A = this chain, B = another copy of it.
Amino acid sequence: MAAQELFLRDGYEATTIRRIADLVGVSAPALYLYFKDKDAIMLALCDQTFRSLNEVMDGMEKEDVAPIARLRRCGTAYIRFALEHPRQYWLTFMSGNTPDKIKKRGHKPDTAGLDPEEPGAQGAIAFSRLMGIFREIENSGYALNYPVDTAAELVWMCLHGLVAAIINNPEFPWTRRDALIEGMLEVAVRGVVKMPG
């Protein structure tokens, strides 16, 4: 009953409720029986997409690698995911309609207390996961240049800045994309964790 949302791939923002209904083979107002409004539909679709990112990160959390390497891996996964699902990423983190509940809650209490079913939560969960890795890094005895929460925010902002720029200006003649990705990870890590020596 929710598989229908996969169809949006094409137009998306230009995707009208009537077109969705047509694709699903149902009349437009029928959608309002399942979703509050158009934003709810989009949110549900984004959540579904982000769920896969969170699963990937779940898996990574079990891997036994040095915490800083884990940060690199998770960062890469985050970036790649964002670039592979630009529209969902845009809607979740750049459209400007972040649901109020998540805004208020913040990341302090970790992912605990985040209801994964709540629409719009998946994006915040991915975000929180990245934060959690950072706490772990600090607990492993690495020295940071900033308080852990500030450090986490800074790193996330770096990654977000990279993908946001690329997503919003895909036709801009950026230099090699992989160089940018690798470079930004380096910049973020070097900037935040105090390197030995």
Which residues from chain A sit less than 8 Å from chain B, CB to CB?
A: 13, 90, 93-96, 98, 100, 103-104, 106-108, 145-147, 149-150, 153-154, 156-162, 164-165, 168-169, 171-176, 179-180, 183-184, 186-188, 190-192
- Contact partners of A153 in chain B: CB under 8 A: 165, 174-175, 180
A186 and B187 CA atoms in complex are apart in Å by 11
- Is there contact, CB below 8 Å, between B169 and A160? no
- A146 lies within 8 A of B108 (CB): no
A39 CB to closest chain B CB (Å) equals 14
Interchain CB contact under 8 A, B147 and A157: no
Contacts of A157 in B (CB 8 A): 158, 161-162, 164-165, 180, 184
Number of copies: 2
- Of all chain B residues, the one with the shortest Cβ separation from A161 is B161
Chain B residues near A172 (CB-CB < 8 A): 98, 103, 106
Partner of A90, one of B96, B160, B174: B96
Interface SS of chain A: helix
A-B contact pairs, 9 of them (CB 8 A): A94-B168, A154-B162, A154-B187, A157-B164, A158-B161, A160-B161, A160-B164, A161-B165, A190-B190
Query: Do the beta carbons of A164 and B94 come within 8 Å of each other?
Result: yes
Given A146-B183, A188-B187, CB of A165 within 8 Å of CB of B156: yes
